[in-house]
Every structure is written in structure tokens, then in C-alpha cells.
Amino acid sequence: MKVLITGGSGFIGSNFIIFMVNKYPDYQIMNLDALTYAGNHENLKDVQNHSNYSFVRGDITDRQLIDELFRQGVDIVVNFAAESHVDRSIQDPDIFVKTNILGTHMLLYAARKYGVQRFVQISTDEVYGSLGETGLFTEQSPLLPNSPYSASKAGGDLLARAYHETFGLPVNITRCSNNYGPYQFPEKLIPLMISRALHDKSLPVYGDGLNVRDWLYVEDHCSAIDLVMHKGVNGEVYNIGGSNERTNIQIVKTILAELGKPESLISYVPDRPGHDRRYGIDAAKITRELGWKPKTDFETGIKRTIQWYLDNQGWWNRILSGEYKSYS
């Protein structure tokens, strides 16, 4: 079995590759990543010499490269490759449209051309928009994205759906809640707050800090994708959630308490445009149909995550300094 994992040097992708290389030693795992700002080849140093792992540096919008890779034989595609930071999408939407829509199209086109057995499109709960104080997103919820990032992800999802409906391509779409855990790029909420708190810097919190997210430990997400990849029903969407809703300010205060830092480090800053108030995932479908449940409660997961960042300060300090870009 040859599995092409795009965006595999990023946060979730690298965790998934580590998971797959170790669980399936008879699979050939190929990682295609452009190593842009959030892609870090150092994330995979523990598996880079494994015989069942290979790396190709390249962009999913490069039609010639994509065709060459698929011509060599690809059984399954798992597409993590995406621009994913909302703030960056507000500042520069162009690259989000290019990667998340055009890049997804390039992969789907090649997957159809060369007859892949399954195409798993990794998406986000942000495509559903914002919830009120009650209710959960289901797979039938309308797509109502509110940022250039989430709109571009929704566009990629719709292309994937269309390739299934029009051409019969065996596609699955997974939509996850906020992931956390090892190797997350330090501009994201949890690693940002950990790194700033350790340096006694102010912790910027948008608005009133009461925006709610559902938090999913990254290893649990990997196990869910594994199930979808092997047992998902063609054409189906699967929501993947952690059932751990927390406000942003709760997250920040938890981190400060774990690190023994004062709450006086918190600094409220003006809210960002189009900031969704609440996300919540109903993961009943993947539990019912594929038997998946998250194993990591938030209290355990956040302690494990904070400890990882404490034990790997060299990793994120190299990112903050820019040194990680020279890693090969």
C-alpha cells in the first residue's frame, strides 16, 4: 500500500505520519510538503530514516510534479496540505485560495486520472461558520465560512465532493475541531501562550476571551483519520471532535496555572474581524459507523502538551528564531 500524505511536515500531518510509519511498517508513506513557514522537516526526524518513509519537497499546485508522483503509483491520498492560520488569511487571502482550492483540485485531478483507491480530504469545523450558545455542527450543517481561510477550505471540500458525485472518485471528507499537542506551530493559541508565558511576556487574548472552541488531542485525530482511510464509506463526511469545549480565556488561565505564572500576564487586545464565537462538533456519526471515540480528556491532554513544550524548548526556539528553516 502506497500512501501519499500532503502537508506531512506540518503539525497534524507530521503527527499522522509518525502514527502511520509506526503502525503500518509494510505501507510506503510518501510525504509531499512545500516546507513553507509552518512546515518543519525537523518534526519527522524520528522517522526520516525508516525504510517505509520518503519525503518529496514540492507544492501541490505544481501540476507536473503531482502527475509525476501519481504516475509512480499511489493507492491512497490524505490531503493535509493547507494554509491554515485565520489571521494570515485576513492579511493575504491569495495564497489561501491558491493552496486550499487550486492545490486540492490538482490532487483530485491526478487521483482520478490514476485511479486512487481513496482520497481523504482533511478539513475543519470552521467551514460551518459560527454557533450560538447551544447546538453542535453535524455533517448536515450548511457551510457558512466567515474568513478567507475557512472559505478556501470549504471550496476544497466542495471540489472533493464534486469529484465523487461527478466522477465516482472514492472521496471522504473529515472535519475536525481545534487540535492541540506536540509539534504545533507557535503562532497557534496553545503553543503561543506556552512560549510567551515561559518568557514572562504578555499573553494577547482577542476580545473578551469568551470565544469557545472544541479541543481535540492530535493523536486522537490521527486514529480517526486512520479509521476513515481504511473503513470510511465512499462519499461520506465525518466530523471528528474532542467533546472538550473551552473558552479561550479558560485555555490561557489553565496554561498559566500549570506553569505557575500569574494571570497578570494576560492582555486583552481588539478582536479580529469575523471572529467566530463558538464551534462545537457532533462526532456521533464516526462513533456510530466506525467505532471511533477520543481517548484523551482535555485535562490529560493539556498537561501532556505543556510538558512536551517544556521538554522541547529547542524545537520551538528554533522556530521563533527562524533557524528551523535551514533544517534538512
Q: Where are the domains of the chain?
A: 2-326
Q: How confident is the model at residue 173 (pLDDT cuts 50, 70, 90)?
A: very high
Contact of 241 with 178, CB cutoff 8 Å: no
pLDDT at 186: 82
Could you tell me the pLDDT band of residue 328, with boundaries at 50, 70 and 90?
Answer: very low
* Amino acid (1-letter code) at residue 243: S
Q: What is the mean pLDDT of residues 262-272?
A: 93
Q: Active-site residue among 128, 149, 217, 324?
A: 149
Per-residue pLDDT at 133:
86
What pLDDT shows up at residue 112? 98
**Cα–Cα distance for residue pair 10/13, rounded to 1 Å:** 5
Q: What pLDDT is recorded for position 37?
A: 65
Q: What is the pLDDT of residue 47?
A: 92
Residue 41: how many CA atoms within 13 Å on its side-chain side? 18
Indicate the pTM of the whole model: 0.93
| pLDDT band at residue 38 under the 50/70/90 scheme | low
Give the pLDDT mean for 61-69: 97
Average pLDDT over the chain reads: 93
Amino acid 159: pLDDT: 98
Separation CA 120–CA 247 (nearest Å): 30
Report the pLDDT value the prediction gives residue 321, as an integer from 0 to 100.
64
State the pLDDT at residue 318: 80
Catalytic residue among 126, 219, 245, 282: 126
What is the helix (H) or strand (E) element at residue 64, kind and residue range? helix 63-71
User: For residues 108 and 129, what is the distance between their CA atoms, to the nearest angstrom?
Assistant: 25
CATH code assigned to 2-326: 3.40.50.720
Say what the pLDDT of residue 325 is: 47
Q: Which of 66, 150, 141 is nearest to 100 (CA)?
A: 150
Contact 138, 282 (CB under 8 A): yes
Catalytic residue list contains 149 = yes
List the catalytic residue out of 59, 83, 125, 226.
Answer: 125
Query: pLDDT tens across 147-166, in order?
Result: 889 999 999 999 999 999 99
Quickly state the pLDDT bin for 326 (edges 50, 70, 90).
very low
**pLDDT of 108 over the 90 cut:** yes
Per-residue pLDDT, averaged over 228-248, amounts to: 96
Other CB atoms within 10 Å distance of the CB of residue 258: 16
Q: H-helix or E-strand containing 207?
A: none
Whether the pLDDT of residue 322 is over 70: the answer is no
